[in-house]
Amino acid sequence: SEVKKIAVISGDGIGPEVVAEAEKVLKRTEELFGYSFETEHALFGGIAIDQLGTPLPQNTLDICKKADAVLLGAVGGPKWDNNPSDLRPETGLLGIRKELGLFSNLRPAVVFDCLKDASTLKPEVLEGTDLMVVRELTGGIYFGEKFRRQSPNGEEAVDTCSYNVMEVERIVRQAFEIAQKRRKKLASVDKANVLETSRLWREVVNRVAADYPDVELEHVLVDNCAMQLLRRPSSFDVIVTENMFGDILSDEAAMLTGSIGMLSSASMGEGSYGLFEPVHGSAPDIAGQGIANPIATILSLALMFRLTFNYADAADSIEAAVSEVLNAGHRTSDIAVDKSKAISTSQMGDLILAAMKK
Ligand code: NAD
Ligand code: IPM
Ligand code: MN
């Protein structure tokens, strides 16, 4: 079969540690299934600031654009936290999403039965939880005009939030399509009791809903949604929401699965091109120790196989291997009940490789 090009940007902190395990899984997929991948590594985030003076070098963007898909670790860290905005790793992340047109961030949160005891919530509440957050990724307050000015009460900071119909409609349609292929339930999350952007959001959702009569739609205010996610997580199927609400709710959903180290994501545009990254960040508190959970990144690779390459066999194989290893009781420390038995990042990667079957 033809060679697929993957841009690999590992970033900062635990980024390189978890991406290394996903790359091992990539190699194993070639051996098992006969697919061929060509990887090209590029600098991104804090390490790119240090070496090239910018978080998103043009060359990195070019490598990503030439590739069929991008695998990303994480960026950021205390070293760059006091930098001006254009020299922040996070600015590079927003830039790459915008430049590559990745407006739709899919964040599945699935509770593995054997991990119910790893969550801080009661196992019976988690039973059957399998939801997908569809987060708008290139609009809203993240991308609005920001500035400082003087006010009579001292310096003032302003962040603006805007959405237009096109931006809302394209993400909402994707969410309806995804819901149609799942349990046909969609929760649209907004703050329409206060925000004008949310009122427009809701109007668009209601209009688009007419094209998807088989999908059961509910509107949930974001504060209530944050609460319902903990009260009745298994009742959610697909959740669609704007950029910042989706950022916050998906970290909350991570705790249903036991750890943010379990949560994968796909950032997509209109086509099959995508950027695949764990939901978590660079975890400076555990970086360099070889103890990070690589499963979020490995499952993000599985999402790449499924959504970009249509290699469902390889995606199934990886997901089954992750289940098998977890069912056998292997845990990194973030999901271990008995931390003294926790295994390392590379041990977890090796076990998953070994469990992969054709
Ligand atoms: P974080 O997700 O990096 O870490 C939050 C907590 O979860 C930490 O205690 C961390 O140790 C733990 N954790 C995260 N991933 C883990 C894993 N794979 N295995 C085990 N434990 C894991 O969030 P933060 O601490 O708020 O942010 C740290 C830095 O990462 C900041 O600079 C932030 O801007 C950046 N960040 C980047 C991304 C990204 O690149 N996509 C996402 C979120 C945060
Ligand atoms: C994420 C992160 C980023 C976001 C930050 C690092 C810019 O939290 O990918 O969830 O808020 O989108
Ligand atoms: Mn986040």
Q: Which two tokens stand for residue 225?
A: 């949604």
Give me the residues near ligand 3 (ion), CB cutoff below 5 Å. Answer: 247
Which part of the chain is CATH 3.40.718.10? 1-103+263-358, 130-255
ipTM of the complex: 0.98
Kindly give the number of the ligand 1 atom that is closest to the alpha carbon of 73: 40
CA separation for the pair 17, 251 (Å, rounded): 21
Which residues have a Cβ under 8 Å from the Cβ of 213 and sit 6 or more positions away?
none
CA atoms within 13 A on the CB side of 323: 12
If you average pLDDT over every residue of the chain, what do you get?
97
Q: Is 347 annotated as belonging to a binding site?
A: no
Give the model's pLDDT for residue 1: 64
Whether 12 lines ligand 2, by a CB cut-off of 6 Å, is no
CA separation for the pair 356, 49 (Å, rounded): 37
Q: What are phi and psi of 330, to 5 degrees?
A: -75, 135
Is the torsion defined by CA of 42, 265, 66, 35 positive or negative?
Answer: positive
Give the model's pLDDT for residue 42: 98
Instruction: Write the pLDDT tens digit of every residue in 86-128.
Output: 999 999 999 999 999 999 999 999 999 999 988 999 999 999 9
Whether 93 lines ligand 2, by a CB cut-off of 6 Å, is yes
Q: Is 123 annotated as belonging to a binding site?
A: no
Give the model's pLDDT for residue 14: 98
In which residue are the tokens 């690589």 written?
294
Best probe residue, ligand 2, of 98, 247, 277 (max atoms within 8 Å of C-beta): 247
Instruction: Write the pLDDT tens digit of every residue in 25-80.
Output: 999 999 999 999 999 999 999 999 999 999 999 999 999 999 999 999 999 999 99
Q: What is the 3-state secondary structure (H, E, C) of 162-206?
A: CCCHHHHHHHHHHHHHHHHCCCCEEEEEECCCCCHHHHHHHHHHH
Does the pTM surpass 0.80? The reply is yes
Contact 223, 187 (CB under 8 A): no
**Which residues form the catalytic set?**
142, 191, 223, 247, 251
Architecture, CATH, for domain 1-103+263-358: 3-Layer(aba) Sandwich (3.40)
Spatial CA neighbour of 97 closest among 308, 241, 267, 282: 267
Mean pLDDT of successive 10-residue segments in the chain (358 residues)? 94 98 98 97 98 98 98 98 97 98 98 92 95 98 97 98 98 98 98 98 98 98 98 97 98 94 97 98 98 98 98 98 98 95 98 98
CA separation for the pair 227, 215 (Å, rounded): 23
CA gyration radius for the chain?
20
CATH of domain 130-255: 3.40.718.10
